[in-house]
Amino acid sequence: MFDFERLRVYQKALVFNKTILSFLKQKSVIDIYLQNQLKRASLSILANLAEGSARFGKADKNRFYVISRASAFEVIAHLSVIFDNYSLDKAIYLDFRNQIADITTMIYAMIEKSVGKEQP
């Protein structure tokens, strides 16, 4: 097992990615470009967590964790467009948002732990 596979945030992101892929298989009416963007952003969360965990320096690690967190925010943007334009059930939309909120909180905690809290 690789180190990143032991991360709780990676496990949550993996479950989220599977959920998104399953959701998109059922919603073929969604524009293919938007589907691809959502898939790529969801996968990017995972990929950047994995790549960041392989880096040795704190700054290098954090760069990938920041990218991972940004990809999670990108997922929310894509889901918002789907919610607004493709009759996405509000309960499903809110569940997706809650999952991403948990993931981004965990990633932020990893970054903050490494660099310390910024002083005002």
120, part of any domain = no
Residue 5: pLDDT above 50? yes
Q: What is the pLDDT of residues 46-93, one digit of tens each?
A: 999 999 999 999 999 999 999 999 999 999 999 999 999 998 999 999
Domain tally for the chain?
1
Total residues belonging to the chain: 120
Give the amino acid at 85: N
pLDDT of residue 99: 98
- Give me the domain span that covers residue 96: 3-114
* CB count in 10 Å sphere of residue 98: 10
With both helix axes pointing from N to C terminus, report the angle between 90-115 and 8-26 in degrees, rounded to the nearest 10: 150
pLDDT tier for residue 116 given thresholds of 50, 70 and 90? low
Alpha-carbon distance 75 to 100, whole Å?
A: 8
Domain CATH for 81: 1.20.1440.60
Q: Say if 85 falls within a structural domain.
A: yes
Q: Model's pTM, two decimal places?
A: 0.91
Question: pLDDT tens-digit profile of 7-22?
Answer: 999 999 999 999 999 9
Secondary structure E strands in the chain: none
Q: 36 and 21 in contact (C-beta within 8 Å)?
A: no
Comparing 107 with 113, the larger pLDDT belongs to 107
* 120 pLDDT more than 70: no
